[in-house]
Amino acid sequence: MAKKVLIVEDEYVVANNLRLILSKAGYSIIGIAISVEDALEQMHKQKPDIVLLDIMLNGERSGIDLAKILTAQHIAFVYLSANSNQTILEEAKKTDPYGFLVKPFREKDLIVTLDIAWYRQKNNVEARLLQEVSLQKQLLDISNRKSEAKQKLLEISQAIRIFIPFDLIVTRADSDSGYVNCGYLRTGFSEYEFIVETELVASVNPKQSLSRKTFSTDNGPAFFSHPNQESEINRNSKIPGERVWMNYFKMESERIFRLKIGTGTEFSYIFYSRQRDLYTQKHTEVLRLFTKCLSNVTEKMLYPSISSLNRSLGEPLYNKSKLLERREFNGIIGSHSLLLAALDLTIQVAPYNTSVLILGESGTGKEKIARAVHQLSSRRDKPFIQVNCGAIPSTLIESELFGHVLGAFTGATEKRKGKFELASGGTIFLDEIGELPLDMQVKLLRVLQEKEVNAVGGNSPFKVDVRVVAATNRNLEKAVAEGKFRLDLYYRLNIFPITIAPLRERKSDIPALVNFFVNKFCKEFNKPIPDIEGAMMDQLYGYQWPGNIRELENIIERSVIINEDSSKLNLKQPLTEILVGNSPISAIETLDDVKQIQMETERAHLISVLTISKGRIRGQNGAAELLKIKPTTLESKLLKLNIRRQDYFPSQEP
């Protein structure tokens, strides 16, 4: 059956051209609308599969306004725009479009973009259905399980978390229900602290008491979302104690979900996040979808177990509930809300074959997230193949990815499998995808669309079953606007983005990371684990970490090597002096600046290791042994970084 397309475009020539091209390609055009109102009227008559949507339209409402309605109705849409500047792309991104076409566009671009949109819509629908079934099953299992209210609430919170992210979940009920208002604060990936509202209020302000109120929501569920400005929250707060939760735990976003339970008891789930403007219409739709299941499990939690929850009030205010850690996240350290949000997304997308795009600065740990996606999927027992697209010469990248046949080019003395073929059945991780040459971007897009590979010099394409996870530290939207990255490939990869926050935005994780690296390197170098100087931690907190976690790891390794076994761990030099040659952090403006700092970091690190080994590279206690690398590799690094051993240790042999 032909896919139904609604064209929303107020320029007749453009709209008619779109109609002719799409009709020729086999699409069914259900209408052409010139405004949001016109589009809604036509959609009422016949629901489209895909909408081609101009951003600027006749009337008071824009294409952005219509996009929000389409998102709520799960209808795929592709934007049309007269330019591709970064501002437009940023605005478009907020509505999560399925594609973006820049006027004037080629016929081929239009067809490819719609194919991608349909592919994304199909994947989203399938994933949503599977997720719905999964959550319904989890809630049913929780409902049937015999457990106390406190444990049941924890299990409900964990099940919902994948669909409604939160840093704090609070539950409240009518005063006559006997339910004790309480919640769980998320303190780690699988760690939660149980908090009773009255005890929290008493600890914050002993003179304050909470009165109970009943709020009418008719018979159906109700949804509320308060603004994140503190003054608005305080003035418009409609729930007793809400201001205490928001202010005490420094929350920025809130979504309230209210239910009628049993004979009319009102029960509220309140989700809080430290991220601004987190909750959207998408989250409301999820809650609405699971209203019945959530009502059932809440009713079983509320009535049979009120006495058991009351019995728990004698426990400490922060009663930590810790579950088993996921082994798939080994090596990922921290409990900051931005990191936990990324891990939640990882768990959410892992079971499906959807492409994943991991975004983050150099050194943030993108590879670890990619491995976690693989380990959490059904492909975990198949190959995980990693390719650094920026480290392979442009003349070799095609052969590296797709393989070559005998005699394909000078030096091809044998047939060789490419990375895609080697990853068959498993996952291929395309790191630094933003460095891929434009001509290779076209070939990669074809592989993603057709799921088949043609080796260099070959004339018989073959199918490959590979999940693609890509990563980049570049701003791909800016690269698209500059013509350095293909728009169609960007949208093909950007089906499910996961952003890894830089270390400077999650400094609360620094102590855990420091302890992890200190233990790691003390074990490697067979040294006793030292205490850490307070002054060192102050410097680590004050630094901006342009090289992120990798830079911190290098600093700790250097400090462990230099440190005397009997003394506390400390920095021998200020971080700015060690890493940037006394240049101010504010001077870091470009990617080249960051790369220069990383090079200077590595240079200082190698010089410090050479100092410990007294200039010796090979043999026992030589620098190569301390660094756990081959002497030839170390010598290559020294040459690359212009470190001449004789400048520091003229009398030493290698």
Question: What pLDDT does 313 receive?
Answer: 44
Q: What is the CATH architecture of 4-126?
A: 3-Layer(aba) Sandwich (3.40)
Burial classification of residue 61, based on how many CB atoms lie within 10 Å of its CB (0-12 exposed, 13-18 middle, 19 or more buried): middle
Question: What pLDDT does 97 receive?
Answer: 86
Question: What pLDDT does 241 receive?
Answer: 64
Q: What is the CATH architecture of 503-612?
A: Orthogonal Bundle (1.10)
Q: Kindly compute the dihedral angle of the four CA atoms of residues 282, 284, 288, 291, in this order, to the nearest 10 degrees.
A: 120
Show Cβ contacts of residue 576 under 8 Å, excluding neighbours closer than 6 positions: 543, 582, 583, 584, 585
Question: What pLDDT does 202 receive?
Answer: 80
Q: Residues in the chain with pLDDT < 50?
A: 210-219, 226-238, 305-324, 577-589
Tens digits of residue pLDDT in 223-234: 555 444 333 333
Task: Pinpoint the residues of the chain covered by CATH 3.30.450.40.
Answer: 145-322
Tens digits of residue pLDDT in 299-358: 887 765 444 444 444 443 333 333 335 677 888 999 888 999 899 889 888 988 889 999
Place of tokens 């008071």: 60
Q: What is the pTM of this model?
A: 0.68
- Contact yes or no for 247/230 (Cβ under 8 A): yes
Task: Pinpoint the residues of the chain covered by CATH 1.10.8.60.
Answer: 503-612
What are the tokens at 513? 């990371």
Interhelix angle for 149-161 vs 291-302, to 10°? Answer: 160
Task: Pinpoint the residues of the chain covered by CATH 3.40.50.2300.
Answer: 4-126
Q: Class of the 145-322 domain? A: alpha beta
* CATH code of the region 350-499: 3.40.50.300
Task: Pinpoint the residues of the chain covered by CATH 3.40.50.300.
Answer: 350-499
Given phi > 0 = left and psi -120 to 50 = alpha, else beta, which region is 406?
beta
